[in-house]
């Protein structure tokens, strides 16, 4: 396709979801080929604190 539009990418597209927890916190990361997003939350066992 022309005009500045991206063409279809061939091959493998990689995606990873990682979740890690500990006492009072949890972290999740979503990663694919061009991006990486993450969030970390802190809690007291009932409510999210941060």
Give domain limits for the chain.
14-45
Cα Rg, the chain, nearest whole Å: 18
| pTM of structure | 0.64
Query: CB within 8 A of 20, min separation 6: which ones?
Result: 26, 27, 28
19 — pLDDT class (breaks 50, 70, 90):
very high
With 60 as the cut, is the pLDDT of residue 1 above it?
no
Mean pLDDT calculated for residue range 11-23: 90
- The mean pLDDT of the chain is 85
């Amino acid at each position: 396709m022309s005009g500045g539009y991206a063409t279809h990418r061939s091959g493998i597209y990689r995606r990873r979801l990682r979740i890690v927890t500990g006492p009072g916190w949890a972290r999740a990361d979503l990663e694919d080929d061009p991006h990486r997003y993450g969030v970390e939350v802190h809690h007291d066992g009932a409510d999210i604190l941060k």
